[in-house]
Amino acid sequence: MESRNAELKKILFVLIVSILTLAVVPKTSFAIGISPAKVSIDFKPNEEFTYTFNVKNNKGSAADLEFFLEAGIFEPYTKLDKVESIGVPNGLQEPITVTINFPSTIDPPGKHILFVGATERVKQIGTLTARTAIRAPITISVPYPGKYVDAALSASNVEVGLTERISVNLKSRGKEDISSLYADLKIYDAKYVELAILKTNSVSLSPNAEGVVVAEWDTANRVPGTYNIKGTISYDGESRELKETKFNLGELSMTLKDVTTEVYVNEINEIKLQVQSVWNDVIKDVYSKIEILDPNEPGKILKEAKSPLSDFNPWGDITLINFLDARSLDEGDYPSRAIVYYSGKTEVKEYTTSVIKRPVEVKVEEQPVTAGKEDDSATSLEEKDNLAVNNQGEINEQSSNYRQKASYFLIGLILLLVIGNIYVIYKVNRK
């Protein structure tokens, strides 16, 4: 009898642990954390590098931590000041220090990534084990033989009429000095028609040194839009093409790119306006209005719809939503206007709205119409009506069940583990 009780206690214990695991897993994705998230350094022959990371316990109770290194070709030269820490209180940080004693030389050159990390030491219960791990990369740049430079084009978005400052950011990755480096640049419009040829100033660079060369371009009389830059760097008899980059010339303006042109008769419809800012700053309180005009009386407005206010980020692209009540409109084509209001200005697009019947959906199985369905339709129409009256609309979010399915899968998996544990305990006790 006592053995039976012991068996039941073990089964109950496994069940409790499993249920707690199920309750905790969705809420505590990261039981431990590490900071900083990453570190970058240059290889320096025969020098010592020391850095301290902090591992934080977030699990809600004291934790036993183990620390590790993944050092690759730097394994013989790298060490940690500790390999474990027992009973780290919840919410506190445990420092770990990594030391790298660089050799005089190492191959191959380029970027090498080491990892410093921590794992939580946990007790195993049956076949259930939960183990959290975290790590942070240390990127080491080993210089190339001779002369080598990392270079990247950089240009900012500016207002038409201002000076565009084009930079080439430099980092010497070679073992030898560079006595003189400059860049030749070409500016193109969106269709790659060449507009200007520029040359930067020149700089010298020692190994591991950083620098920048600059050229300027006057944007007066240029049109707003996207421009392309290509370039080549030249240094001490060597040259290399740069990766192309883009920049925007802007003005306080909005572009109305697209608008819904078909609506359904006897319904409240979503009218979507796709609008883009061509300004280099935030534009606040932007809204749109739809006007459906009388085809027989020019200028007479039959229906209006107005969107909520929106803020546009620099060069932002947003879809403005207007709810149009078409229940009093007959089928047919109507002249229409879409108007975007922003910063005391307007952008207008004239187009034609077609009011049509909603296409009949073909159903595989016929379902009987119930009173509940009619009530739901009436409620839905009433809600839409309120939205149209208040000129405020909410965009229906797309319903998705994949998260629920994932949760069900996780629950099923844990239940299987629980059953497995019960079975193992049962077999052991039977023996």
Q: What is the pLDDT of residues 98-125, one digit of tens each?
A: 999 999 999 999 999 999 999 988 765 5
Residue 363: pLDDT band (50, 70, 90) is low
Mean pLDDT, range 170-196, rounded to an integer? 95
Written as six digits, the tokens of 62 are: 């004291």
Mean pLDDT, range 339-346, rounded to an integer? 95
Q: Residues with Cβ < 8 Å from 259, sequence gap 6 or more?
A: 271, 272, 273, 274, 290, 338, 349, 351
Which residue's entry shows tokens 């149009």?
A: 324
CA separation for the pair 53, 63 (Å, rounded): 17
Is residue 333's pLDDT more than 70?
yes
Residue 60: pLDDT band (50, 70, 90) is confident
The distance between the two most distant Cα atoms of the chain, rounded to a whole number of Å, is 96
**Where do the domains of the chain lie?**
1-27, 31-142, 149-250, 254-360
Percentage of the chain lying above the pLDDT 70 cut: 77
Burial code (b: 16+ CB inside 10 Å, e: under 16) for 125-151 equals ebebeeebebbbebebbbbbeebbbeb
* Fold of domain 149-250: Immunoglobulin-like (2.60.40)
**Would you tell me which CATH number, out of the four given (2.60.40.10, 3.40.630.30, 3.40.640.10, 3.40.1080.10), belongs to the domain 31-142?**
2.60.40.10
Is residue 378's pLDDT more than 90?
no
Residue 280: pLDDT band (50, 70, 90) is confident
Answer yes or no: are the C-beta atoms of 31 and 59 closer than 8 Å. yes
Better pLDDT: 142 or 379: 142
Answer yes or no: are the C-beta atoms of 339 and 319 closer than 8 Å. no
Strand partners, 293: 301
Kindly report the backbone phi and psi dihedral angles of residue 376, in degrees, each rounded to the nearest multiple of 5, phi listed first: -65, -40
CA separation for the pair 320, 305 (Å, rounded): 11
Is residue 138's pLDDT more than 70?
yes
Better pLDDT: 60 or 264: 264
CA separation for the pair 419, 64 (Å, rounded): 29
Q: What is the pLDDT of residue 2?
A: 52
Domains 31-142 and 149-250 share a fold: yes
| Strand, helix or coil for residue 167 | strand
Answer yes or no: are the C-beta atoms of 98 and 51 closer than 8 Å. yes
Nearest to 34 by CA among 65, 60, 61: 65
Residue 32: pLDDT band (50, 70, 90) is confident
DSSP string, 98-137: EEEE--S--SS-EEEEEEEEEEEE---BTTB----EEEEE
Better pLDDT: 394 or 322: 322
Average pLDDT, the chain: 83
Mean pLDDT, range 85-106, rounded to an integer? 92
Better pLDDT: 403 or 157: 157
Lowest mean pLDDT among 183-187, 279-283, 360-364: 360-364
Q: What is the pLDDT of residue 46?
A: 95
**Axis-axis angle for helices 402-430, 2-24 (nearest 10):** 160
Is residue 392's pLDDT more than 90?
no
Residue 25: pLDDT band (50, 70, 90) is very low
Mean pLDDT, range 374-394, rounded to an integer? 39
Q: Does domain 254-360 have CATH number 3.40.50.80?
A: no
Answer yes or no: are the C-beta atoms of 96 and 55 closer than 8 Å. yes
